[in-house]
Amino acid sequence: MFRREVRVFFLLYPAFRRFQKDRKSAKSESGKDWDYRRERNGKKAVQLFIELGPAFIKLGQILSARPDLLPKEYISSFEKLQDSVPPSPFEEVRPTLEENLGKLDEIFDNFDREAISGASLGQVYRATYKGKDVAVKVNRPDAEFIVKRDIVLLDRILRFARGRIENFLYLSINNVLRDFRKRIIEEMNYEKEASNSKRIARNISGREKIIVPRVYDELSSKQVLVMDYISGTKITDVRKLKEKNIDIQKLAYDLDISFIRMLLRDDIFHADPHPGNISVTDSGEIILYDFGMVGDLDDNTRYYLLSLYDGLTRGDIDQIVDSLIGVKALSPAANRGVIKKSVELGMAGMSGKRAEDSEIRELLEIANDVVFEFPFRLPTSLVLYMRMSSLLEGICLSLDPEFKFVKVLRKLFMEEGLLKELYEKQISMFMEDSIRSIEAGVAILPLLRRKLESEEEKPQSSQRGNLNYTIFGGILMLIGVYEYGQLKIIGTFILIMGFLISVYGILKRA
């Protein structure tokens, strides 16, 4: 343990120092062009994570969706980090298999000893069970020990760094490690993965052209997962897909639509759609594998995500900022004026493109740059969503270089009434906020009235009543000024109402 700790520390320390310098320079050069020195350092960091093993590979995948922490050049490198390693010899995993299943020759008609795929935490074998082809996924024998050991090492290194790095960076890394610890332990629990796959299969049943392999509950456990084996062509093997006469443009559209619906309609979404986890049948149906990494969005986050998409595609700066605050990607206390200028700079850099003609990556990079410049703790669900979006777009563009994520999104918005739902929600929130603002003004009114009356008693009760109109209108105008800084439409409405009421009071007193 001590030797491992020393090795990890001395390998990580120089990389972390480079990262600190790159992060600082990226912040000071916000909005400038791509920096190839930072890109080179990002690639070095990825190679280091691969060298350090499974826990670091998984951590790197999570970091690839953290624009609040990493410069964009690092993000680009970490996005390419895939979890694919040579499988361990069969005899090393056989004890785990037989401990959970019993004698393999008694359970299966046939069990192929050669693994068909290998990853850092587990590997997959092909077998025949009661005449049916199945895939048997098993934890590597040392995976849990290695992961838990390295999590302890990372915690120790972070404690050592406390006080030596800026407080925000320390807290952010600590939050990343806390979320990572929970997620990687869940990924090693195949009972959780089985539950995830069944939930997704239930949600998309009869709706999508997607196949989710069936789980064999009687054979599955925490360390072993048995599912239907369904063969297919890797989704990025364009040449082979064309040979099978599959419409790859339609395939890209079907894949994208299915994942967007999963994200915006369901209570769970597949968060790891890299090419190794998606295949295509000869008839063009999509097969999903590996349900260890999933996410979910609450109604509030889903609403603001819709609003963000709508704002980005229409170029509405205020709505973009409101939405980034709403999804908790930005702090409500951040300087709104400076944030708006940053978003405007990003939108201006799109070289005259209409937003709907842009890739989602271009639009998300605008949001990512803002989040990096004005960091706030990103919710885990949002981190997973960002990872999913980036991976998904990469696949769709490999199938169809002319693919436009935003056009597909807007079409879905219109066809399934998502924009209507968004606007209805905006009106509802607008009315609720207006009522709250008016109630706040009414609550303050008696206090101001008593103050004014104590200074100067007015003999005419009618004048006193008219004064109330003027005071109330003034209060609404003050509230409107405040609300305008938070949400433009509400502030404008309250300002107008306040002005009209004040004018009415003044005219009655005249």
pLDDT in tens, 389-400: 888 988 999 999
**Does 461 map to a domain?**
yes
Are 355 and 464 within one domain? Answer: no
476 token code pair: 């609404």
Are 69 and 159 within one domain? Answer: yes
CA dist 492 and 332 (Å) reads 20
DSSP strand pairing (110-111 vs 122-129): antiparallel
**Does 114 map to a domain?**
no
446 pLDDT exceeds 70?
no
493 pLDDT exceeds 90?
no
Are 408 and 440 within one domain? Answer: no
Q: Can you give the pLDDT at residue 236?
A: 93
Are 389 and 308 within one domain? Answer: yes
Q: Which of 68, 254, 256, 272 is catalytic?
A: 272
**Does 177 map to a domain?**
yes
What 3-state DSSP class applies to 133?
Answer: strand
417 token code pair: 């009434």
Are 338 and 442 within one domain? Answer: no
Are 164 and 65 within one domain? Answer: yes
CA dist 477 and 217 (Å) reads 63
CA–chain centroid gap for 411, Å, is 22
Are 308 and 174 within one domain? Answer: no
Active site residue 254: no
Beta partners for 124?
117, 137
State which of 163, 187, 211 marks the end of a domain: 187
Are 359 and 455 within one domain? Answer: no
**Does 149 map to a domain?**
yes
Q: What's the whole-model pTM score?
A: 0.76
Q: Which residues are CB-neighbours of 117 under 8 A, at least 6 positions away?
A: 84, 87, 123, 124, 276
Are 395 and 439 within one domain? Answer: no
Are 43 and 177 within one domain? Answer: yes
**Does 286 map to a domain?**
no
**Does 59 map to a domain?**
yes
Q: Can you give the pLDDT at residue 327?
A: 84
Domain of residue 390 covers 299-416
**Does 108 map to a domain?**
no
State which of 187, 205, 237 marks the end of a domain: 187
Instruction: List alpha helices for 315-359, DSSP H.
Output: 317-326, 336-348
Q: pLDDT for 350-390, tens place per residue? A: 545 555 555 556 666 666 667 666 655 677 778 888 888 88
CA dist 296 and 358 (Å) reads 26
Domain count, the chain: 3
Beta partners for 299?
none
Are 387 and 306 within one domain? Answer: yes
Instruction: List alpha helices for 162-220, DSSP H.
Output: 167-187, 190-204
Are 10 and 158 within one domain? Answer: yes
Mean pLDDT rounded to a whole number for the chain: 81
Average pLDDT over residues 70-81: 86
Q: Which residues are CB-neighbours of 383 under 8 A, at least 6 positions away?
A: 62, 65, 66, 179
Average pLDDT over residues 308-324: 82
Task: Say if CB 233 and CB 279 are below 8 A apart.
Answer: yes
**Does 224 map to a domain?**
no
CA dist 160 and 210 (Å) reads 47
